[in-house]
Structure formats: structure tokens, C-alpha cells
Amino acid sequence: MTDAEKYCFDVHGYLVIENALSPDQLRSANAAVDAHSDRVSIRPNDLARTSSTLKGTTGRGDLGGMLTWDKPHCEIFRQMIALPVFAPYLEELLGPGFRLEAMSGLLMDQGAEGFWFHEGAEPHDRSRGFLYRNGRMFCGMTNIAVQLTDVGPEDGGFACLPGSHKANFPCPDEIRLHHEHKDRIAQIPAKAGDAVLFVECLMHGALPWTASHQRRSILMRYQSGPVTEGGMGTYTPPPFYDELTEAQQAVLAPPGYRCEDKGSQLYGNKQKG
């Protein structure tokens, strides 16, 4: 990360990584989603909760299982979990040996409801916190949302309260429900192929989708090497594990400490500082 990126992430809790996907990768990802449109599950308008400003005429579409789809459609998502462009950010924030916790697709058609604003730094969650010590940021769960379609300034979708990852007080419900201080909430524009990097304890949610085209975001959640929220018992690698590159295998490995040099070599990056 550059000094400017570190500063902005520390202050705001998020960054936009431009052109994370190449045009070919973007086309492949959208073609794969198109081919599996019958697997999209429409939620029952349950994300806005009691908010009068976040309600919509339809629910958000959820899509999963991308890593297990038949070839060639799974290949772009397997690439995405270990894109070299993401490695310097994740190593800076999570340390070497970062791991993928989950991957999902978020789809919103025009009129889809928003998502009430959740997380925030207080109360503290040990697996989802943010800490600065001795010139470095230490993050809990950290997310990358890859945008497969354009998100304009008034389109809706992902939004957050910048700086809330360092809040010292619990957020009042009237702000979480987008009823008061709406001007403090920032909806983050991005081009198709860009990615939004944000720490989970940043208070975030979504505004109703107003654009005529479909919102398509691929959300990947990462943790530091020793941490997991969903793992229990003996680790079993996924059935497609042997089909992956070494870098892709590394982010699906069981929780544990890893050598910093080894993690950097997998991605072709030299970690500094």
C-alpha cells in the first residue's frame, strides 16, 4: 500500500482499488453469473428491517457456490480469491497467510431494498476489530467487494459511515436505520472491474438500488491466518483443492501462522515495512 492509501484507509476504513479485474476477467465473471442466473435466491425483503428509507419493492438477490461451478465458469472466481493485485493490501492489513472466510454474490435489480447499517467499532468484536500500533494497522475480518457492473453516485448499493471503524460509542438505531444524519452516510461509486476494500467493523450497509441495470458485486471476506469464524473440528480441503494454484490453495488453507516471505512469493509480491 502506498502512504496515501494507508492514510485514507486508516481515516475512512475503506479504499477503492481501481481496475482490479482486466476486461477479459470482467467479461468472464459476468458470463458466469449470467449462466447461473437460475441459482439466484431473492431475499424476502428482510434487510431493511424497520427502515422507511431503506425499504424496497423487492429483496436482494444472493448467489453462492461460485468456486464449485463447472468449468470454465468457476475459473474466474478461483482467480479472484487470490488476485495478485489484492495481496499487498491484505498482507498489510491482515498479515502473511491471510485466509478466505467466505465468498458470495450480491445482486440488486431496480427497486431492491437496502441493508440496514451494521457493525461499527463499538461494541468491540475480537475477530472484526481495527487497531493501530507502532506504525501499522491490524484488522479483523477485511472484505473485498468486486464490482461487476458500474455503480454511479446515485445508484445505491454499498454505503458506509466513513471513520466508524474507530468509533468509541455504539451507533444509535436512528442512524443504523438511515432515519437521521443521512448526510453522514457515503455511497461509494465504482466502475465495473473496480473493488471496494473495507474493514468489517466499518459500519456499512446498502442503499436501495435505483439504477436500471443490475448491481452485481462479488463479496470476499478474509481473515488473518490464525483466525476463523466458521471453522470447527478437523479441516477438510474442498474437493477441487488439487485443481487450484499454490496461491489459491494458500487462501483456502486451514487456520495457522505462516511465513511472511512464503506468502509474498506465492503472489509475486515483495512485502515491505
pLDDT score of 170 more than 60: yes
What is the rounded average pLDDT of the residues 218-222? 98
Q: What are 227's three cell numbers?
A: 483466525
Write the DSSP symbol of residue 18. T
Predicted confidence band of residue 43 (pLDDT cuts 50, 70, 90): very high
Domain count, the chain: 1
pLDDT digits (tens, 9 = 90+) for 29-39: 999 999 999 99
Specify if 233 maps to a domain.
Answer: no
Q: What is the pLDDT at residue 195? A: 98
Specify if 273 maps to a domain.
Answer: no
Strand partners, 62: 41, 106
The reply to whether omega before 72 is within 30° of 0 (cis) is yes
Specify if 246 maps to a domain.
Answer: yes
What is the rounded average pLDDT of the residues 204-223? 98
Q: What are 212's three cell numbers?
A: 436500471
Specify if 141 maps to a domain.
Answer: yes
- Can you tell me whether residue 10 is helix, strand or coil? helix
User: For the chain, where are the E strands, in sequence order?
Assistant: 14-17, 41-42, 61-63, 99-108, 115-118, 130-133, 136-139, 142-147, 157-160, 186-187, 195-199, 204-207, 215-223
Q: What are 24's three cell numbers?
A: 477479459
List the CATH number of the domain containing 52.
Answer: 2.60.120.620
Specify if 140 maps to a domain.
Answer: yes
Predicted confidence band of residue 232 (pLDDT cuts 50, 70, 90): low
Q: What is the pLDDT at residue 239? A: 93
Specify if 85 maps to a domain.
Answer: yes
Q: Give the integer Cα–Cα distance in Å for 10 and 26.
A: 29
pLDDT digits (tens, 9 = 90+) for 53-96: 999 999 999 999 999 999 999 999 999 999 999 999 999 999 98
Q: Give the integer Cα–Cα distance in Å for 121 and 125.
A: 8
Specify if 232 maps to a domain.
Answer: no
pLDDT score of 269 more than 80: no
pLDDT digits (tens, 9 = 90+) for 73-85: 999 999 999 999 9
Specify if 80 maps to a domain.
Answer: yes
pLDDT mean across residues, the chain: 92
What is the rounded average pLDDT of the residues 232-249? 89
Q: What is the pLDDT at residue 262? A: 47
- Can you tell me whether residue 52 is helix, strand or coil? coil
pLDDT score of 163 more than 80: yes
- Within 36-111, residue ranges assigned H as helices are 75-80, 87-94
Residue-range definition of the domain harbouring residue 158: 3-226+238-267
Strand order in the sheet with 215-223: 14-17, 195-199, 142-147, 215-223, 99-108, 61-63, 41-42
